[in-house]
Amino acid sequence: MGDFVAMPKLGMTMKEGTITKWLVCEGDAVEKGDYIFETETDKTALEVDSLLSGKLLKIYHFEGETVKVNDPVAYIGEEGERAPELTVALADAVDAVDAVGAAPVEPSPAPAVATAPASHTLGSAAPTPVLQAASGEARPGFDKAKRPYGEFLYDLIVIGSGPGGYVAAIRAAQLGAKVAVAEKGEIGGTCLNRGCIPTKALYASARRYRDVKAAESMGVSVDKVSFSWKKIQSRKDAVVEQLRSGVEGLLKKNGIDVLRGEARIVKAHEVKVGRKSYSAAFALIATGATPSSVVKAGAEVMNTDEALSLAKLPKSIAILGGGVIGCEFAGIFSAFGVKTTIIELMPRILPPVDAEVADALASKMEGEGIALKLGVTADDIKKSKRGYDVSLSSGETVTADLVVEAVGRRPETRAFESLGAATDGKGYLVTDAFMRTDIDGVYAIGDITGKHQLAHAASAQGILAVEHMFKGVQGSSIDIMPSCIFGAYEIAAVGLTEEQAKASGVPYSVYKFPYSANGKALTMGETGGFAKVIKDERWGEILGVHIIGADASSLIEEAVMAMSLEATASVAGGTIHPHPTLSEILMEAFLGADGGAIHL
């Protein structure tokens, strides 16, 4: 009884390969381990060996053909056996292990053509067909949008000027497009004005204050250490203003018009800003998300936007939500002496983060006096003479001067409510691999898509989208997405968590290298934390990297680069790192994953 030869998965991001040469012919005898064909991806070219012995009875795909990972390319069986036809092979291959032993994926049905409804063809030819896989994402490969017929005032109108919108606008202008950005608020969006930048400015002040208080341990004496919350807030506002002015200057430098007012896409190729309508060949929705509220309380609580601009620090604060936003706010307020409590529904903080890393942060936070109320809900919140009384599902009551709700964000949908674009169950726009919605000429990026609520993800998606519009792109690999958290410790991660690796069924190993074994960390007095590498045991592929400790947010990019280039742990650890630096922590973690850490 024979079996199928499938296109192997040669790397974490590989989705398909091109057969460049067959090394055997139909009817040839094949031994296990013999090289049978050569394949090429956008990153590598390799010879593929057989896991079977027998006769090559059938070749399904020939030289020059591109084949999806795990789809059958040939059939090896016994003399006299009849090879199945391709349709049968495709169905049965789901149960087969591919040529490199990776777990198979379900084969996609024949591609379907997605087109916009007839009502969405203002000033355009027939909608551009989009080849879709079963997941709804366009298949990788060179692709470029077809510009609609007709005359338009703009080549592109971007709705929203956050890190996705303004970056996309600049890149489109660089490609020669006439671009406008519609913005109802402040240039820079949530990230610059109410998110990433102002929180990191407060975080930086909190760290400086913490370091000065701990200066005695470094042999430095400082008398009467104090801080001014008013000056801290003023510095934060100055940083935001400087960066906002910088973005405005970049838009002007690149000849991009800024349309002030609330924008709505009336229909494909028509955008209304305020009372005036503008035509555009393409529209890009980058409206982001706003703080969500799920708590039903007898008293009004503050959201995270409002908490950023407090004129005076409270003596105590209760934060509803132990996710990224909640943990970052807790670290800031606690550093300035505010009695801080986190109330979280899940049994641990940071549920999406690697459990070992999240537990390490929880331990650090509790060591700094932050109270964690986990696995409970806030059933009621009432105003009292003491401040706010938060009644928990456990029966306990937490009293605080201030309550901040940090339970996540919801999509900002007003710009496209009348468009009829497809959304998921939570209201986020559904997009394909090139960030196209199902409306002809309309793309969406950033938080509004629900893919990654990260500023750098929005920027990457924006560049991908406009390059697809005006240049054409080869594939769309933006899957290797790092994330960072700035709390009592910095956390940075890319790839799979250990829980995800375990659930995938892939044989994996884990290696951790502690900050305490690194010379530079010792000199800095930053010995808490570790770097954790998760490796595929079969091929040495780096599946995930997680860092918790000083400057983790800067260290993670090495892991992103290594995974993007599909370097093994051995190769990543074998590169020379300068000494003494924190980068050696990651080097040792890679070496340890390959069985050869030096300093532990």
**Catalytic residue positions, numbered:** 579
Q: Contact 513/531 with Cβ under 8 angstroms?
A: yes
> Distance (Å, rounded) from C-alpha 510 to C-alpha 538?
13
* DSSP track, 63-90: TT-EEETTSEEEEEE-TTPPPPPHHHHH
* DSSP track, 303-360: EHHHHTT-SS--SEEEEE--SHHHHHHHHHHHHTT-EEEEEESSSSSSTTS-HHHHHH
> Distance (Å, rounded) from C-alpha 531 to C-alpha 555?
10
> Distance (Å, rounded) from C-alpha 479 to C-alpha 459?
13
Using left for φ > 0, alpha for ψ between -120 and 50, and beta otherwise, residue 27 falls in: left
Residue labelled with tokens 């940071």: 350
In whole angstroms, what separates CA 259 from the centre of its chain?
29
Instruction: Classify residue 254 as exposed, middle or buried by CB count within 10 Å of its CB (0-12, 13-18, 19+).
Output: middle
Residue 324 is encoded by which pair of tokens? Answer: 């990224």
Phi, psi of 201 (to 5 degrees): -65, -45
> Distance (Å, rounded) from C-alpha 458 to C-alpha 478?
11
Pairing of strands 402-405, 483-486: unpaired
**Residue 200 neighbours by CB distance under 10 Å:** 17
- Tell me which residue of 428, 502, 500, 434 sits closest to 463, measured CA to CA: 434
Q: Contact 257/131 with Cβ under 8 angstroms?
A: no
Q: E strands of 160-288, at which residues?
A: 179-183, 257-260, 263-267, 270-273, 276-285
Strands of 371-374's sheet, edge to edge?
Answer: 302-303, 402-405, 316-320, 339-344, 371-374
Q: Contact 69/93 with Cβ under 8 angstroms?
A: no
**Residue 359 neighbours by CB distance under 10 Å:** 15
Residue 369 is encoded by which pair of tokens? Answer: 């006096």
